[in-house]
Amino acid sequence: MSLTLRAYTPDDFDKLHAIDQACYPSGIAYSKQTLRWFLRLPGAECVVAELEDKIAGFILAQQEGPNAHLITIDVLAHARRRGVGTALLDILEHSLASCGARQVELETATDNQAAIAFWHKHGYRTVGVLKRYYLGRLDAYSMHKSLPAPKET
């Protein structure tokens, strides 16, 4: 498997939007306007994964000082369970930590078993339930993870 991780560039936008539409149910997937807004936030960081030279997923977060918010992680169905999500999360967490983040928070739907298993495997713990967080009717877990301070060299 040839996996490449690289920074997002604006040329990727349409593909990332299509991936998000494919990864989430209608109404939860981001509109173009919303996705563009997240990508332009101050402190936004987006990493793209290419499998065999084709974009297969991405991860997007925003950092504000010691706090980071993981906005989304999307891996196309055909590319799942091959470590792409893990590779995206690892590189992003390292980058956030090296820029001073000490905590990452995220939300995930309480019925998204794959995502919950993924977050637990990567050390995220549930800290609360956000009632009717999605579409005004679906609950979400609020999850947190502490990041270690980068080692001094």
Q: How many residues bind ligand COA (CB under 6 A)?
A: 19
Residue 138, φ and ψ in degrees, nearest 5: -100, 130
Q: Check residue 81 for interaction with ligand COA (CB under 6 A).
A: yes
Q: Which is nearer to ligand COA, 128 or 149 (CB)?
A: 128
Question: Interface with ligand COA by CB under 6 A: which range of 8-16, 31-39, 78-86, 95-103?
Answer: 78-86
Q: Check residue 118 for interaction with ligand COA (CB under 6 A).
A: yes
Task: Please enumerate, as own/partner, the contacts of 39-48 that have beta carbons within 8 Å and a separation of 24 or more.
Answer: 39/8, 39/13, 44/71, 45/92, 45/95, 45/96, 46/7, 46/8, 46/16, 47/5, 47/6, 47/7, 47/8, 47/88, 47/91, 47/92, 47/95, 48/5, 48/6, 48/7, 48/8, 48/12, 48/16
Q: Check residue 134 for interaction with ligand COA (CB under 6 A).
A: no
- Among residues 71, 75, 96, 104, the one that binds ligand COA under rule CB under 6 A: 75
Q: Check residue 123 for interaction with ligand COA (CB under 6 A).
A: no
Q: Check residue 73 for interaction with ligand COA (CB under 6 A).
A: yes
State the binding string over 82-111 for ligand COA (x if CB under 6 A, else -). Answer: xxxxx-------------------x-x---
The residue assigned the tokens 């994964």 is 49
